[in-house]
């Protein structure tokens, strides 16, 4: 019974050992290939291989190193604290540094923040050459990529002054950094150059000279210039990047920030203030000049307006005087014409009166002659008859209107017994008047024969 138990225990132990051995062998023979990585696999037989496909890979009792296809070297403030990643990278995949200290051409130091991304070769020959040389990504970053990053950034700073950088050379600085990371660092030499100033300073203390002051001071200055060393063909000579010999390329090279020292910042602030003051003074001078020109223009305009108004007044007065003159001439001519018309009218009326007088006289003469002829012809019988008829009419009218008493008393028709005012007396009176008129009208009623 004990033997049987011991046999079962021995079989169980053997099975466990076999299972453990199999699990160990499996754990040491398979790994999972992540995306974005290249794996350098070495087997127990001494063979090497690279794995680029994603998934589980078999390497019986071998070794492997994982290399990220793209490695990043970054110099930035708080790069570790504020890092943002889409996935957890291995420490060997990138290098994070504090801001790099660089020195510009004009001896101004600054803290630069930059990022460079490198791509390693994916072909078998190039990758194995890289893996044999550096053996691990850590060695590649520490001995090749980080030194190249630092050296290129510092060399790039020596090509430009800090004032040129902040005066508009930022884009050129960034472009040169990327070119040197890809193609190599320029070989340069630093020279002192004497530059003649285009603007000369003038004194202002001699009041007797006014604006024509004498020039003073030097009109030259010494500056430092970095010149690129050229080869026989006129092309800049470069110090090649060591990592390019292993097929490593630069994907991107960016300078994200530049912080100069505090003294330079203060100096730049003073220059900015001075520049702003000059700009303000220039604008004020332009404004004063504009004001002066405005005053001149306004004065000229007022003078022109006065001249124009005076000319208008002169023209108006001249026009009015000419109009008055023409009106006076017209009035005189009108009066003259009216006088001439009146004279001619008077002459015509005078001549008309003469003609009318002559006509009246002629008519009177004709009428007198006619009457004379008539009187001579009938001895003025018509006139006599008209006079006699008129006399009779007058006597008849007087008789019809006589005043008689309402009642008359008498003895009849005798002459001696009638009262005063009777018809008999009236009749006797009328007879007497008739006789008197007949005497006065004693004319020949017969028509005289001619």
Q: Convert the pLDDT of each residue in 153-192 to its tens digit.
A: 999 998 888 888 988 889 999 999 999 999 999 998 877 7
Mean pLDDT confidence for 265-289: 85
Query: Which residues in 4-162 belong to E strands, given as ranges?
Result: 30-33, 37-42, 48-51, 55-58, 63-68, 70-75, 94-97, 100-103, 109-119
pLDDT value, residue 192: 77
Q: Convert the pLDDT of each residue in 362-374 to its tens digit.
A: 887 777 777 776 6
* Higher per-residue confidence, 319 vs 209: 319
pLDDT value, residue 203: 53
Mean pLDDT confidence for 81-96: 54
CB neighbour list of residue 189: distance below 8 Å, 6 or more residues apart = 226, 227, 229
Task: State how far the Cα of 374 lies from the Cα of 404, in Å rounded to an integer.
Answer: 45
Query: Minimal CA–CA distance to 104: which of 166, 171, 150, 157?
Result: 157
CB neighbour list of residue 37: distance below 8 Å, 6 or more residues apart = 66, 67, 68, 69
Most confident option among 48-57, 235-244, 336-345, 382-391: 235-244
Q: Convert the pLDDT of each residue in 103-120 to its tens digit.
A: 998 888 999 999 999 998
Q: Convert the pLDDT of each residue in 39-86 to its tens digit.
A: 777 776 667 777 777 766 666 666 777 888 888 999 988 654 444 444
Q: Does the pLDDT at position 199 exceed 80? A: no
pLDDT value, residue 113: 93
Tokens of 433: 């008047």
pLDDT band at 21 (very low <50, low <70, confident <90, very high): low
């Amino acid at each position: 019974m004990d033997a049987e138990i011991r046999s079962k225990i021995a079989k169980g132990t053997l099975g466990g050992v076999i299972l453990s051995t199999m699990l160990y062998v499996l754990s040491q023979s398979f790994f999972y290939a992540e995306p974005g990585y290249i794996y350098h696999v070495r087997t127990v037989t001494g063979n090497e291989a690279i794995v680029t496909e994603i998934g589980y890979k078999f390497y019986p009792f071998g070794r492997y190193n994982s290399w990220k296809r793209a490695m990043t070297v970054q110099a930035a403030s708080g790069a570790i604290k504020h890092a943002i990643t889409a996935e957890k990278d291995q420490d060997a995949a990138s290098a994070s540094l504090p801001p790099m200290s660089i020195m510009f051409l004009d001896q101004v130091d600054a803290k630069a923040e930059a990022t460079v991304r490198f791509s390693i070769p994916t072909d078998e020959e190039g990758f194995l050459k890289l893996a044999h040389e550096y053996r691990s990504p850590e060695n590649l970053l520490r001995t090749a990529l980080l030194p190249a990053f630092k050296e290129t950034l510092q060399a790039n700073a020596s090509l430009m002054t800090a004032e040129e950088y902040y005066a508009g050379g930022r884009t050129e600085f960034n472009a040169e950094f990327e070119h040197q990371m890809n193609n190599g660092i320029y070989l340069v030499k630093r020279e002192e150059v004497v530059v003649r100033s285009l603007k000369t300073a003038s004194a202002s203390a001699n009041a007797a000279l006014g604006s024509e002051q004498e020039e003073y001071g030097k009109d030259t200055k010494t500056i430092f210039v970095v010149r690129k060393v050229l080869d026989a063909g006129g092309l800049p000579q470069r110090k090649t990047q060591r990592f390019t010999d292993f097929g490593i390329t630069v994907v991107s090279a960016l300078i994200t920030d530049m912080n100069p020292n505090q003294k330079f910042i203060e100096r730049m602030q003073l220059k900015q203030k001075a520049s702003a003051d000059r700009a303000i003074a220039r604008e004020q001078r332009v404004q004063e000049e504009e004001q002066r020109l405005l005053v001149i223009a306004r004065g000229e305009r007022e003078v022109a307006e006065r001249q124009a108004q005076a000319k208008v007044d002169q023209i108006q007065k001249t026009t009015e005087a000419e109009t008055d003159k023409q009106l006076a001439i017209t009035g005189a001519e009108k009066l003259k014409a009216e006088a001439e018309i009146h004279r001619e009218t008077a002459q015509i009326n005078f001549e008309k009166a003469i003609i009318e007088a002559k006509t009246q006289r002629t008519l009177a003469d004709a009428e007198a002659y006619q009457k004379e002829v008539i009187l001579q012809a009938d001895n003025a019988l018509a006139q006599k008859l008209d006079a006699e008829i008129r006399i009779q009419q007058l006597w008849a009218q007087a008789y019809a209107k006589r005043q008689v008493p309402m009642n008359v008393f008498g003895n009849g028709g005798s002459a001696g017994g009638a009262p005063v005012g009777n018809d008999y007396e009236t009749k006797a009176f009328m007879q007497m008047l008739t006789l008197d008129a007949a005497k006065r009208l004693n004319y020949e009623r017969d028509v005289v024969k001619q």
